[in-house]
């Protein structure tokens, strides 16, 4: 039974990748929560500041302005607004109120801290006109674009409050006040701090709590990847082992029997009577057929026997395939990345099989005179290409869909490539057959380096199965490529 030596431990790349994704998503969530907090805090702070300004503006209108406005104030008699003027200007000293006005329903400024505006008439907005005769209040961030706001434009952002009221004699008026926006910014900063503490703090706490779970899940994923990689490596090695066993069976069983039958036929010819010409002819044909079959089985045996990649290495094995192709009249150029010397047995098996199957495809279908064999390490992948100058693929789309092993459909004759593609896709790679630039075909096999956890280490399969041979001892046959059909 063939033995597979323990592989080196898997690097923790899968775990690092999973944790990196977890941290990146956590950071993205923190950014989203932070942006959402900022976007949410501004309108909430504005709503709170406007609500506070509306309450204070309405209270000022009802508690101070309404009792102090009468017929004399409305008529503009001298000295009638003394008390009103004193109280309202005193209220402005703390800086929370920037400007104030009292409006009549005609749009006339009855009183203002800006004395130049008193007595002037300005058009009123519909929402302000609706306040006359009611106790309603409206508040908004003022744009200061109206004519009566000329004096306020240098005060920066202000909160504009309109409060409907009735004076001491029941005449409807509107009291307008402009409040500084400092409370808005203070509320915004306070909300940002509280929401950030609640949102970001909760998210960070949640991330800390689920981090052990993320690490545990990453380890499970890593173990799953390790098991999958191990099974794939065993499958590759098992395939080579089966090839060796089949070659052993052919050599020690059927091939030996055919050789014995051939000798027996030779002896039978000498035992036939001289006048048995017909029998001699039949026996001669049988003997020649047995010899042809024996040669065919011997050729098949050496064809399926895998190269000893564990001992000889990848480069000599590929050079051996190239030499066999050259002996058949094909010009072969080999270009192997020196870094592939560090590849472990699983990767070497994939590269070798890709080159071997590519050469077989060239011999059988390409009608080519030259072929280029390349294997390069590109980033985190190994890319193997077999390019020829032949007739190119029959199907412009590349490798046709797989069909049965018999028949003459478009997929017939590419069973080896289909099997190789299935293996490569199981490893996380892909196989593509397409037309080469300038003519011919190019077979490209891409395999991720990560599947072979022995990229730096070593692994090997024992050379022979531990069972007795029915024939005499023999030297291991070399895998070779031969033209078919």
Paired residues of 372 in beta bridges = 333, 387
pLDDT at 14: 60
Q: Per-residue confidence at 469, pLDDT binned at 50, 70, 90?
A: very low
Query: What values do phi and psi take at 389, rounded to 5?
Result: -110, 30
Q: Of 167-181, 334-348, 396-410, which gets the smallest average pLDDT? A: 396-410
The reply to whether 318 and 169 lie within a common domain is no
Q: pLDDT over 70 for what percent of the chain?
A: 77
**Using alpha carbons only, how large is the chain's radius of gyration in Å?**
47
In this model, does residue 383 exceed pLDDT 90?
yes
Residues 6+ apart with CB under 8 A from 275: none
Q: What is the residue-averaged pLDDT of the chain?
A: 77
pLDDT at 134: 92
CA distance 286 to 298: 18
Q: Per-residue confidence at 456, pLDDT binned at 50, 70, 90?
A: very low
Q: Dump pLDDT digits (tens) for 17-42.
A: 777 887 888 888 888 877 777 777 77
CA distance 446 to 7: 23
Q: Dump pLDDT digits (tens) for 72-89.
A: 998 888 888 899 999 999
In a domain, 172, yes or no: yes
Q: Of 144, 161, 186, which residue constitutes the final position of a domain?
A: 186
Domain that holds residue 333: 312-463+475-485
- SS3 (DSSP) at 335: strand
How far does CA 368 lie from the centroid of its chain? Answer: 40
Q: Per-residue confidence at 335, pLDDT binned at 50, 70, 90?
A: very high
Residues 6+ apart with CB under 8 A from 102: 65, 69, 109, 110, 111, 112, 173, 174, 175, 176
Query: What values do phi and psi take at 277, rounded to 5?
Result: -65, -40
Q: Of 165, 186, 207, which residue constitutes the final position of a domain?
A: 186
Q: Of 159-168, 211-220, 429-438, which gets the smallest average pLDDT? A: 211-220
Q: Are strands 430-435 and 109-112 parallel, antiparallel or unpaired?
A: unpaired
Buried residues in 8-30 as b, exposed as e (16+ CB within 10 A): eebeeebbeebbeebeeebeebe
Q: Of 152, 186, 220, which residue constitutes the final position of a domain?
A: 186
In this model, does residue 471 exceed pLDDT 50?
no
Query: What values do phi and psi take at 132, rounded to 5?
Result: -65, 130
Q: How would you list the strands of the sheet with 370-378, edge to edge?
A: 331-336, 370-378, 381-388, 441-448, 430-435
In a domain, 481, yes or no: yes
In a domain, 265, yes or no: no
Residue 271, both tokens: 């035992």
In this model, does residue 107 exceed pLDDT 80?
yes
CA distance 353 to 359: 10
Tokens 């009221």 sit at which residue? 165
What pTM value is reported for the model?
Answer: 0.46
CATH number where 123 lies? 3.30.450.20
Q: Per-residue confidence at 304, pLDDT binned at 50, 70, 90?
A: low
What integer is the mean pLDDT of 181-203? Answer: 73
* DSSP string for residues in 295-330: HHHHHHHHHHSPP-HHHH-HHHHHHHHHHHHHHTT-
pLDDT at 461: 35
pLDDT at 106: 92
Cα–Cα nearest to 272, from 280, 282, 264, 281 = 280
Query: What values do phi and psi take at 98, rounded to 5?
Result: -95, -50
In a domain, 432, yes or no: yes
CATH number where 367 lies? 3.30.565.10
Give the number of domains in the chain: 2
pLDDT at 147: 52
Q: Per-residue confidence at 121, pLDDT binned at 50, 70, 90?
A: very high
What integer is the mean pLDDT of 348-370? Answer: 88
CA distance 348 to 358: 15
In a domain, 260, yes or no: no
In a domain, 48, yes or no: yes
CA distance 409 to 278: 44
Cα–Cα nearest to 306, from 403, 359, 240 = 240
Q: Are strands 370-378 and 331-336 parallel, antiparallel or unpaired?
A: parallel
In a domain, 195, yes or no: no
In a domain, 105, yes or no: yes
In this model, does residue 466 exceed pLDDT 50?
no
Q: Which of 260-274, 363-377, 442-456: highest mean pLDDT? A: 363-377
Cα distance from N-terminal residue to C-terminal residue, the chain:
35
The reply to whether 317 and 453 lie within a common domain is yes
pLDDT at 10: 43
């Amino acid at each position: 039974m063939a033995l597979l030596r323990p592989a080196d431990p898997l690097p923790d790349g899968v775990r690092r990748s999973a944790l990196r994704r977890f941290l990146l998503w956590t950071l993205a969530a923190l950014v989203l929560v932070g942006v959402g907090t900022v976007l949410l805090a501004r309108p909430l702070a504005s709503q709170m500041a406007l609500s506070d300004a509306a309450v204070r503006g309405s209270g000022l209108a009802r508690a101070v302005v309404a009792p102090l406005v009468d017929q004399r104030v409305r008529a503009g008699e001298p000295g009638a607004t003394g008390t009103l003027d004193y109280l309202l200007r005193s209220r402005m000293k703390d800086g929370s109120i920037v400007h104030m006005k009292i409006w009549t329903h005609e749009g006339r400024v009855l009183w203002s801290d800006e004395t130049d505006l008193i007595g002037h008439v300005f058009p009123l907005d519909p929402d302000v006109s609706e306040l006359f005769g009611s106790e309603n209040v409206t508040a908004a961030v003022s744009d200061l674009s109206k004519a009566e706001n000329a004096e306020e434009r240098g005060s920066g952002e202000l909160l504009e409050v309109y409060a409907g009221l009735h004076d001491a004699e029941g005449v409807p008026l509107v009291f307008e006040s402009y409040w500084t926006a400092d409370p808005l910014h203070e509320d915004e900063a306070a909300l940002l701090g509280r929401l950030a503490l609640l949102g970001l703090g909760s998210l960070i706490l949640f991330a800390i709590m689920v981090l052990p779970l993320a690490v545990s899940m990453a380890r499970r994923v890593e173990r799953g990847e390790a098991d999958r990689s191990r099974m794939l490596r065993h499958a590759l090695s098992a395939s080579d082992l089966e090839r060796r066993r089949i070659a052993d069976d052919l050599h020690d069983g059927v091939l030996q029997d055919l050789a014995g039958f051939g000798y027996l036929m030779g002896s039978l010819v000498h035992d036939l009577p001289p006048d048995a010409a017909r029998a001699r002819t039949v026996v001669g044909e049988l003997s020649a057929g047995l010899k042809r079959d024996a040669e065919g089985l011997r050729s098949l045996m050496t064809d399926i026997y895998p190269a000893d990649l564990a001992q000889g290495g990848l480069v000599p094995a590929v050079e051996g395939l190239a030499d066999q192709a050259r002996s058949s009249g094909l010009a072969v150029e080999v270009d192997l990345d020196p870094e592939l010397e560090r590849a472990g047995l699983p990767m070497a098996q994939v590269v070798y099989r890709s080159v071997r199957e590519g050469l077989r495809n060239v011999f059988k279908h390409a009608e080519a005179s030259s072929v280029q064999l390349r294997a390069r390490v590109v980033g985190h992948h190994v890319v193997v290409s077999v390019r020829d100058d032949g007739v190119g693929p029959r199907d412009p789309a590349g490798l046709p869909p797989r069909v049965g092993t018999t028949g003459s459909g478009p997929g017939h004759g590419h069973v080896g490539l289909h099997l190789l593609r299935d293996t490569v896709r199981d490893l996380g790679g892909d196989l593509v057959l397409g037309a080469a630039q300038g003519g011919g075909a190019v077979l490209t096999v891409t395999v991720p380096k990560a599947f072979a956890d022995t990229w730096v280490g070593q692994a090997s399969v024992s050379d022979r199965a531990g069972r007795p041979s029915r024939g005499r001892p023999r030297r291991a046959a070399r895998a070779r490529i031969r033209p078919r059909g």
